[in-house]
Amino acid sequence: MSRMLVVVSLLVLSSCPAPRPPPPPEPGPLRAGVATRRLDLPVGIAMGGYLRTRPASDPGSPWARQFPASQGVHTDPTVRVVALTNALTRVAFIRLDLTVTSPSLRSRLDAALKATGEEAHLFIHATHTHAGPARIMPPARLGSATGTDFVSLVMDHYDAEVETRMVSAIVEAVTDAFAHLEPVSVGLASVEAGDFNDDRRCENDPVYGSDYRDTALTVVRLDVVDEAGNPVRPLTALLHYAMHGTVLGSDNTLQSTEAPGALELYASDLLGLPAMYVQGAAGDVSPRGGPFGHTDLQSLERQGRAQARLAQQAWERAAPGPAVAKARLDFRERGVLLTREAFGYAKDEFPEWGGIQCAAGGPGMCGAVKSTPAEVFCLPLEPRRPFKTALSLLRIGDLLFFSLPGEPGTGLSRKMVGALAPLGATTVLPVGYAQDHYGYLLEEDDWLRGGYEPTVSAYGWKFGPYLLAQLEDFVATIDAPQEAPDLAVVPAAVPRPVTDSPGPAAVVTQPQDAERLATHVFEFEGADPALGTPRVSLEREAAGAFVPVPASSTRLVINGPELLLRYAATPSFKDAPDALTRRHLWTARFETIPSTALGRYRLVARGATKAAAYELTSRVFTVSKSTAVGARVTARITADGRYALEARFPPNPTQYVAAGLDDVVGNYRLRDADSNPNEGALVREGTGSGTLRAPDGSSAPVTLSWSAAESAWVSPVLAAAGSHQLELAPGALVDGVGNENGSTLSTTATK
């Protein structure tokens, strides 16, 4: 009986339909968060990107082994993170103010985030500043494990402590960004920005023609939305552009975020939000100098402010519509094997583990000469285990970013954009210097024409086409499982000792009262840079109290670029590398410009010694109006017969400590974006009154009014022909912000 019941029960159960699998989870709305942290790296660290040699004046640093030590800060290197999620996918889009990214940095960051419980896909990219911290690239040695580390020639030697300190700041930023997620909608627009970059690789002109580069500045705008999905306020903007960070030369000793950072900084100021620079196909694209002769830090400020206005135009056009309830956010990644056989070389065609200093192209470099593969000679690299680097795709709605592990040339990048077309994204943007780095990524014909780029590219003329083929296969198999990138082995960090200070923090030199255009100097004894770069802030008296001075609606004047910070130790590390105590002297410089607000100021330095935190306040100093209006004056007669007076402030070309040293100490601020600093900034706006002597010898008072069309102060129409002489007493010519002439001005013009 019981056996019959079992049989019947089985028959009943077998006739029931199988339970349906649960439906796949569905995405929710897109949410985003933004966070920024200073990279925890001391002044003294070597800077990457150039082949640098130590000058005799180099003070040395425990943070620089082969390269010169950095000696100050123009703009702090930072990490900025845009965290993204749609409830199914979590992505940390990470911008670093570095020359390159590295596999060890990515692996160390991945492990550090997982240790905190933060699970997210990582898309790491560098701005490619050539004035950013180095020492994060693992060695690539010539010939054997004891050979010269080729990487050290452009990035100094790898240092695990540098990388560990950097990762700590990145983890903080990622965690903070994910902790402040808000629902967002996405918009996008591009503007033409060809005035700000140049084709820097003439060798490939026979391949592509001259002036071959990407010139679009694309702005991706994320706006916070309300419960109905309607945009209510902007959150952040991604600024995609192609441009090397090479305005400052190889002798520069100031840490700086360079041209990419200038665009990001001034666009953030203008838009009132934290914008993020995203580097494009900049392998063959340099920043373009301006038309008026600005150099170095003035050039960075001029270009950044001008580009920011273009970014604002694109940002306004990119205003997003309502957010979608089910947002598309995809992150896909493919591990790409790095071996000679995978690239497609025959056994004797290319060094087995890669080659450096590859000689290609004929004499003259910029001609049409092209090497055959048989003519290429490279120095072989040491044996290394096979490694899979990453090709990453990040899709946000109809926008697709793809990573490139090096410096992509324009030609290869455009073919890759075309290869991604089957994925159906409306906009496809390459991100160079992302996830890893293997030198310049060029098409075969381009590579074989020689020049500098092939000499620092480890995998030769077939590497660029190989990456393109891998990307094409990635697209064709996008829904299939992909090989994962390898994680690099990361060595443990050994912390350096921190030197003591001989006494507590103290003020050494006080700023003095001065007119606009002067530089106010504040020196103080602080602590070892390993304990952190001091934060020097500018305060101004208002209603009887000193308050922080805003640089824009979103940031205060703290350190650069408005304040330059420099460091020197006594004894120097060069003179006494094993000293246990040093005098740590920090110098902040505040250079005023014609429009600096008048009033009473002070500088406040905050930092920490080994014993305690410190706060040092300077004496109160006064910034008064300039009396240098009219340091240079010229006069002419306008087309409609009026006397026109053009006045300028004194010339302000960039100044240096000594010939051959790119240590900026004066005239680092931009006074006039549209004037050559060797001629002096143009004085604008305001009024003037003086005496005008007519050709017949008679004199009469005259009032001058500012004419924007003439860029000069002009009189009423003159009646008589001949020579007219204008004389203005001291204080008679006042510009739009209260500056005036301190001495008599006299000019002559003939009608």
Confirm whether 365 is domain-assigned. yes
Other beta carbons less than 10 A from residue 480's beta carbon: 7
Say if residue 402 is in the same domain as residue 468. yes
Say if residue 459 is in the same domain as residue 532. no
Q: What is the C-alpha separation between 477 and 750, in angstroms, rounded?
A: 78
Task: Say if residue 677 is preceded by a cis peptide, omega within 30 of 0.
Answer: no
pLDDT score, position 697: 92
Domain that holds residue 697: 632-750
pLDDT score, position 658: 55
Structure tokens at 750: 């003939």
Residue 587 belongs to domain with CATH number: 2.60.40.2300
The answer to whether the CB of 232 falls within 8 A of the CB of 222 is: no
Q: What is the C-alpha separation between 564 and 76, in angstroms, rounded?
A: 10
What is the count of structural domains for the chain?
3
Structure tokens at 506: 């103290």
pLDDT score, position 21: 75
Confirm whether 129 is domain-assigned. no
Quickly state the pLDDT bin for 16 (edges 50, 70, 90). low
Average pLDDT score over the chain: 94
Say if residue 535 is in the same domain as residue 558. yes
pLDDT score, position 5: 46
pLDDT(659) > 60: no
Say if residue 571 is in the same domain as residue 648. no
Say if residue 573 is in the same domain as residue 636. no
pLDDT score, position 505: 96
The answer to whether the CB of 327 falls within 8 A of the CB of 397 is: yes
pLDDT(737) > 90: yes
The answer to whether the CB of 653 falls within 8 A of the CB of 676 is: no
Strands 621-624, 687-693: pairing is unpaired
Residues near 52 by beta carbon (within 8 Å), at least 6 away in sequence: 46, 67, 68, 250
pLDDT score, position 18: 64
Q: What's 374-422 look like in SS3?
A: HHCEEEEECCCCCEEEEEEEEEECCEEEEECCCEECHHHHHHHHHHCHH
In angstroms, the Cα distances linking 113 to 119, 414, 437 are: 7, 34, 22
> What size, in residues, is the chain?
751
Helix (H) or strand (E) holding 617: strand 613-617
Average pLDDT over residues 103-115: 96
Other beta carbons less than 10 A from residue 617's beta carbon: 15
Instruction: Please tell me whether residue 201 adopts helix, strand or coil conformation.
Output: coil
> Helices 410-419 and 463-476 meet at what angle, rounded to 10?
10
Strands 535-542, 519-525: pairing is unpaired
The answer to whether the CB of 222 falls within 8 A of the CB of 32 is: yes
Say if residue 543 is in the same domain as residue 565. yes
Q: How many helices (H) and strands (E) does the chain have?
A: 11, 40
Q: What is the C-alpha separation between 505 and 637, in angstroms, rounded?
A: 60
Quickly state the pLDDT bin for 15 (edges 50, 70, 90). low
Q: What is the C-alpha separation between 65 and 252, in angstroms, rounded?
A: 17
Q: Say what percent of the chain tops pLDDT 70.
A: 96
Residues near 35 by beta carbon (within 8 Å), at least 6 away in sequence: 80, 81, 83, 172, 173, 174, 175, 176, 177, 180
Strands 535-542, 599-608: pairing is antiparallel
For 628-672, give the DSSP string.
BTTSEEEEEE-TTSEEEEEEEPPP---EESSTT-B-EEE--S-S-
Confirm whether 124 is domain-assigned. no
Indicate yes or no: pTM above 0.75: yes
Quickly state the pLDDT bin for 661 (edges 50, 70, 90). very low
**pLDDT tens sequence across 19-50:** 777 777 889 999 999 999 999 899 999 999 99
The answer to whether the CB of 634 falls within 8 A of the CB of 747 is: yes
C-alpha neighbours within 13 Å on the C-beta side of residue 431: 31
Confirm whether 733 is domain-assigned. yes
Confirm whether 279 is domain-assigned. no
The answer to whether the CB of 93 falls within 8 A of the CB of 104 is: no
C-alpha neighbours within 13 Å on the C-beta side of residue 367: 8
Task: Say if residue 454 is preceded by a cis peptide, omega within 30 of 0.
Answer: no
Tell which residue, 268, 262, 260, has the closest CA to residue 127: 260
The answer to whether the CB of 276 falls within 8 A of the CB of 237 is: yes
Say if residue 638 is in the same domain as residue 617. no
* Cβ neighbourhood burial of 575 (10 Å; 0-12, 13-18, 19+): exposed
Say if residue 368 is in the same domain as residue 392. yes
Other beta carbons less than 10 A from residue 641's beta carbon: 14
Q: How many angstroms separate the first and last alpha carbons of the chain?
A: 129
Tell which residue, 151, 168, 222, 103, has the closest CA to residue 489: 103
Residue with tokens 């979608």: 324
pLDDT(91) > 70: yes
Say if residue 658 is in the same domain as residue 730. yes
Quickly state the pLDDT bin for 663 (edges 50, 70, 90). low
Higher pLDDT pick, 359 / 481: 481
**pLDDT tens sequence across 141-182:** 999 989 999 999 999 999 999 999 999 999 999 999 999 999
Residue with tokens 């060798």: 203
Tell me what percent of the chain is helix, strand and coil, each rounded to the nearest 5: 20, 35, 45
Residue with tokens 């005259």: 702
Q: What is the C-alpha separation between 300 and 260, in angstroms, rounded?
A: 9
Other beta carbons less than 10 A from residue 674's beta carbon: 13
Question: Which residue among 600, 624, 648 closes a domain?
Answer: 624
Residue with tokens 């706060």: 615
Report which residue type is found at 325.
A
Query: Sign (positive/negative) of CA torsion 318, 319, 321, 326?
Result: positive
Beta-strand runs (E) in 397-542? 399-403, 407-408, 427-431, 440-441, 506-509, 514-515, 519-525, 535-542
Say if residue 709 is in the same domain as residue 746. yes
**pLDDT tens sequence across 232-261:** 999 999 999 999 999 999 999 999 999 999
pLDDT score, position 24: 75
pLDDT score, position 244: 97
C-alpha neighbours within 13 Å on the C-beta side of residue 683: 31
Question: Which residue among 624, 657, 682 closes a domain?
Answer: 624
In angstroms, the Cα distances linking 227 to 322, 341, 397 are: 11, 55, 20
What letter would DSSP give residue 30?
Answer: -
Confirm whether 210 is domain-assigned. no
Instruction: Please tell me whether residue 536 adopts helix, strand or coil conformation.
Output: strand
Say if residue 577 is in the same domain as residue 543. yes
The answer to whether the CB of 351 falls within 8 A of the CB of 147 is: no
Average pLDDT over residues 371-387: 93
Adjacent-strand bridge partners of 700: 692
Average pLDDT over residues 552-581: 96
pLDDT score, position 473: 98
Adjacent-strand bridge partners of 615: 606
Confirm whether 562 is domain-assigned. yes
> Helices 160-179 and 103-115 meet at what angle, rounded to 10?
50
Quickly state the pLDDT bin for 356 (edges 50, 70, 90). very high
Say if residue 636 is in the same domain as residue 711. yes
pLDDT(520) > 70: yes
In angstroms, the Cα distances linking 508 to 71, 97, 104, 425, 610 are: 18, 32, 42, 59, 20
Confirm whether 534 is domain-assigned. yes
Question: Which residue among 594, 624, 654 closes a domain?
Answer: 624
